[in-house]
Amino acid sequence: MEFSERTIKIIIDEAKCEGCKTHACVEACNTYDRGILVLKDGKPAVELSPEELARRGTECLACEYECWFRGNSAITIEVPIKGLDEYRKKYGTL
């Protein structure tokens, strides 16, 4: 499952959510963001339209962090930064 906020993409490998007992992602989303992630059939889900996700998301990254520490590392968040590849090439960090 994947969805986008204004500038980031959240990808959740739902197979890793099987047997997760914490659902820490949903708790983190309700604590630090605006409750975009909800629990549905034992897995994280979104029920808002793409437009509403883009409007409400604060790009806080808490779901990924909490899933690393208390879940099963099921979440990857892509944060594209314009010009980063060129910068890293220029300064030799690639």
Do strands 43-45 and 38-40 pair parallel, antiparallel, or not at all (unpaired)?
A: antiparallel
- 30 binding ligand SF4? (CB under 6 A): no
Distance CA 88, CA 94 (A): 5
Answer for which of 16, 38, 45, 61 binds ligand SF4 (CB under 6 A) is: 16
Answer for which of 3, 5, 10, 23 binds ligand SF4 (CB under 6 A) is: 23
Q: Residue 16 or residue 56: which is nearer to ligand SF4 going by CB?
A: 16
* Cβ neighbours of 50 (radius 10 Å): 11
- 25 binding ligand SF4? (CB under 6 A): yes
Say which residues have a Cβ less than 8 Å from residue 17's Cβ, sequence separation at least 6.
Answer: 42, 43, 44, 71, 72, 74
- Residue 17 near residue 7 (C-beta atoms within 8 A): no
Q: Residue 1 or residue 94: which is nearer to ligand SF4 going by CB?
A: 1
Q: Which of residues 50-69 bind ligand SF4 (CB under 6 A)?
A: 67
Site of interaction with ligand SF4 (CB under 6 A):
12, 16-17, 20, 22-25, 44, 67, 71-72, 74-75
